[in-house]
Chain A
Amino acid sequence: MEDLARRVAAYLAHRMPQASNIEVSRVSRIHGGASRETFRLHASWEEGGAKVERPLILRRDPVASLIETERDLEYNAYRAFHPTGLPVPEPLYLETDLSWLDRPFFVMEQIEGCQAGSPFNAEPYGNFAEKIGRQFWTHLGHIAAADPHGIGFAANMDPIAPEECWKRELEKWEKVIDEDELEPQPVARAAIRWLKRNPPSPAEKISVVHGDYRTGNFLFDAEGNIRAILDWEMCHLGDPLEDVAWAVDPLWAHERPERPGGMIARDEAIRLWEEASGLKADPVRLRWWEIFNSLKGLAIWISAGKEYQTGANRDPVLAFSSWYCTDVHNRVLARRLAELSKEGRA
């Protein structure tokens, strides 16, 4: 870690020519976030005769990851939403020059004194479940309501028509399964066929889609206030119901669909989202996105398994995702698709 501290200090000196005596200390890698190497660190320097102290987060591309994404997507999302009042860390520097830290990275504000709930805990938020749940769904509504062009999110992104959202996402994740499956996947293939046979109605509007909005991907403080929505690696333009469906996925918080993510009741969650977004959660379209998201989950876990099996990345969280999450999503999809098959044949 000493070498990393020295190199980050050199980088900060490059970005802040007005600063002197830059020191980086307390570098510690954070667990999870297998799509990026994430480090907590403390930077201090002198500027204008005053001593400045700033806790920072460094997100560096790994050699191979759980989710192959471009780091500028995530950085761009922080940059777009930070001025809007949505709780996200302030992004500071994005760097693609490999000479600094061998791989691309970005630096952002560290939100101190907070924790993230575990998606594999039945009660990730304890007594704060109601309070956090109300904020969680309202913030998601605000993300859906945001104008992607107005906040600068849509710049340099491929446009998408409301009727094409489903197709682009399905093609993307089907390709991941095609390329990464280590053995045939009957449930995933049946899901893909069902999704193609039953396309959803067009999106009510094109919104920012976080892409991984769920239990575990936000920080809350000791009073139960959400302070930072994180992990925007999979953000894109699309149907806002995609995020709603991912957030209610049964994987998060022990397959309890009536209280998604271990927070508030599903009906209340949807009501809060509709109120904050000004949109309607059409139940038929939402069901399509729920099936899709369980498939997307499978694709991610299948990809994680391949990374681990081939030795491209030996982070234990990849092996865990491949074992546990694949089984959950196979089970969830098999049950739902079996019911839909019966309904379709009735």
Chain B
Amino acid sequence: MKPDVGTVMQGFFGTLLGDIAPHLNAEYSMGNVGIMGMMMFMTAEEYDRAADIRVAENAEMRSLFSHAAALVTDDALKKKLAAAASEKEGSLRVTALNARNAALAALLIELQTHVEASDASWARNLEARIWDHLVAATERRKLPLPSFG
């Protein structure tokens, strides 16, 4: 079998900090090795989950837009929301998912700004739903930080 990426990254993190850093004399180099090691530790987690959290985020935003399209009164925004809600996820490469995530996030900003300006009860509920999404999305993206005791 081949070791998976997470195992390799965590292994490299240990090697960098345990075997390589102690043999460096320059303080600046040691600091950089420490940072790079920590980022390898994070990459181990990110590699495994990157596509999953982006697909989940994009699906949540499309669902939000589908719901919002029936509520907002601005015709131009309504059309954009409906169009985005009906899109399907294509390639699962992280770069492709990021590009779609960025487009959806831009529309989310537009929707949230629109909703904040309304006193209607649908706006209150929609604003709460947008925040539920943003809190969940930011929590999902939480990166692990190794503990050094």
Chain A contact residues, CB within 8 Å of chain B: 28-32, 40, 120-122, 183-187, 189-190, 193, 254, 315-317, 319-320, 323-324, 327, 330-331, 334-335, 337-338, 341-342, 345
Contacts and interface: CB of A to CB of B under 8 A. Distances in A.
B27 A28 contact: yes
A329 B30 CA distance: 27
Contacts, number: 95
B105 A331 contact: no
Interface of B: 26-28, 30-32, 34-36, 38-39, 42, 98, 101-102, 105-106, 108-109, 112-113, 116, 124, 127-128, 131-132, 134-135, 137-139, 141-143, 145, 147-148
A323 B148 CA distance: 19
Contacts of A254: 145
A316 B36 contact: yes
28 contacts: A28-B26, A28-B28, A30-B28, A31-B27, A31-B30, A31-B31, A31-B34, A40-B27, A184-B102, A184-B105, A185-B105, A186-B108, A189-B112, A190-B109, A193-B113, A316-B32, A316-B35, A317-B32, A320-B38, A323-B143, A324-B38, A327-B141, A331-B142, A334-B134, A337-B131, A338-B131, A341-B128, A345-B128
Contact of A184 (B34, B106, B141): B106
Contacts of B138: 187, 327, 330-331, 334-335
Nearest to A28: B27
Contacts of B28: 28-31
Interface secondary structure of A, over-half rule? helix
A29 B141 contact: no
B53 to A, nearest CB: 11
A2 to B, nearest CB: 14
